Structure 1
């Protein structure tokens, strides 16, 4: 079934020619294509003024004219960013290869030879105008998509703890809290949160959905609506993860899943109790037993079936001491899986040393040096979403 031709009734065409007969003849021809909004100019200088005033969708431009010829006018148009993409159709009696090349070098989109052949003229005019319409439609669509993605990104970012919230929680619980969040595209599949559970207990959650982009981002919104359904008070982390897993199994499409770490920091007992669902191994640091030594740093066991894969998933609670002066470092797998041209991925086993190097540079806020080191060795844009969270108890 043939595709219907686009209507050109709303298109504007500027004819620039020093010969009145040629101007009228061209106008008569292009009206056959349904174009009625036509303006005229007698030389290149008048033509430039008419372009700014008339805002044409196409310029039919003669080459040999007084005051300013067609080549000069076209070159002037292309120097103006506003008219870089304006179609210019040269009309010329010069049919040598050199002259035709000169038209294109001046910035012309195409040309028609004199004497004008009506059928060819209409076809070339229609081709240029239809192409411009399609290009403008595509540009408008792209702009709309970018605008909507920007709004969606702002909505997704609003789900995460903002700086003021971090400062409030840090002061309430005697912590240092720093975080970094970056998506590999406009939207991502990482999520993390802080959940006060009274004056002495704080919940910590980090989730990484498979993939990235729009699908993964939609899953983070699903997750956010589910979290409020399952109170964290008086529930072990393993039980809470099991509830969340069952709910995600109901809403996630087949093949989609998430890794997760959920811990509760109890300041009264100096303990961190956590359960995990296949997340990257967090780093736990505790003050050294010998004065003057650096902190004891180790990777935590974060084994567990990913969320959303099976209703029968079982999660295990683990409890460790996290006294004053200790810290917890949580991160998504982009930290250990993204590399660059000169350096391969960091890898899981290298994370403790990665943390030690950052602590040597800034003991109070090592997340900054960690991110500097990561980006120095990593190719951009990132292949996956990156979340990094530093939680330290003040000494």
Structure 2
């Protein structure tokens, strides 16, 4: 499809009136009607600012300020770094061409001007500029939309003030980190107060990352309110969520998940899992991995999940994370792996017993290449002693 150049603006800078009129006539015959002229480089610089051309046809030899100097001054301005500048010169030599390009010229036309060549080079530069401009505008629009989408995704996560309120209400220490590998990601986590003595935790990691995975987190968020958590065990709640996700997820897309309910009256954590990375539980100074086996969400409507329970008394802790923590690696280090998480956490606790998530992430990033290849979520939950 031909590119329309009807709206393109051309500035002709030449000290010879006959040349100005001849060039303007050639360009008009090519369908370009928005044309402005200047007699030297000084006037040309003023016309560039007022006329805002899409291309400058610039003579090299002129009084007051020649074309080379005008071109150099334009290139010093960020707004004109990409402006096409087409030199016209009577000196058709390698040295002259080098001078034009070193000054910042985009191309040149040899005098005497050949109408066919002139029109072809003008159209080529204008078409290229329009393509670059359209691409830049498209990229800027996409970046704006991604920025808004990222803000929306972050709004799905618990805010710091909300975490502080929940932590105070249930006498917990809550610390979390969320990072996407690109503008958007497929991780989701949240905390849900159920009643005066029960609080629930959910971490979901959709397959892949980027826009597709992020859309799935929005789907998930709209579904969660359809399944009240207060009166069902975690396994039943996870099964209901799985059936709903199976209806809306495209074929081949799925998610891992951990859903647990902490009962402060009985000091019990009851949880169900859908193939999530094994959480780490810490009791009386001993760290161990929990069993988190289970069919991923969205794979089968008939998936059945099991409830598992353990004591989580005061002073104990629970660490949840997405698989980026165990799968990302660096040039000199392989992935940490599932079995390496307790050791990583143990070192972080030794560095900061009250808030070990910060030291843990420092150790992780010290051995991992950036940007991450997958989205990372890490949640530290501890009962106050």
TM-score per shorter chain, which class? over 0.9
Give, in whole Å, the separation in 1 of the partners of 2:251 and 2:49: 56
Alignment-derived partner of residue 135 in structure 2: 138
Match of 2:304 in 1: 314
Q: Deviations over 1:341-384 (max 9, x none)?
A: 12221111110010111111111111111111111211111110
Equivalent pairs counted in the alignment come to 385
SS in 1 for 2:88: strand
SS state of the match for residue 22, structure 1?
Answer: helix
Residue 98 of structure 1: how far off its partner (Å): 2.0
Output the CA distance in 1 between the equivalents of 2:40 and 2:336.
Answer: 65
1:350 pairs, out of 312, 323, 340, with 340
Q: What SS does the corresponding residue of 2:378 show, helix, strand or coil?
A: strand
Alpha carbons 1:7, 1:34 under 8 Å: kept: no
TM-score normalised by L of structure 1: 0.96
The match for 2:115 is: 118
The answer on whether the counterparts of 1:265 and 1:273 sit within 8 Å (CA) in structure 2 is: yes
TM-score by length of 2: 0.98
1:160 paired with 2:160, answer no
Q: Map 1:17-96 onto structure 2 (within 5 A).
A: 17-96=14-93
Q: Secondary structure of 1:108's match?
A: coil
| Conservation of the 8 A alpha-carbon contact between 1:8 and 1:33 | no
Partner of 1:252: 249
Partners of 1:52 and 1:123 in 2: CA distance: 26
Paired position in structure 2 for 1:175: 172
Counterpart of 1:228 in structure 2 is 225
Equivalent of 2:267 in 267, 270, 279? 270
Matches within 5 A, 1:278-357: 278-287=275-284, 295-357=285-347
Structure 1 stretches of 4+ moved >6 Å = none
The separation in 1 between residues aligned to 2:29 and 2:334, in whole angstroms, is: 63
Q: Tell me, in whole angstroms, the C-alpha distance in 2 between the residues paired with 1:380 and 1:67.
A: 53
Contact 1:277 1:304 in 2 (8 A): yes
Distance in 1 (CA, whole Å) between partners of 2:47 and 2:315 is: 73
Classify the secondary structure of the residue corresponding to 2:35.
strand
CA distance in 2, matches of 1:369, 1:55: 54
Cα pair 1:239 1:315 within 8 Å, conserved: yes
Report if aligned partners of 1:286, 1:327 keep a CA contact under 8 Å in 2: yes
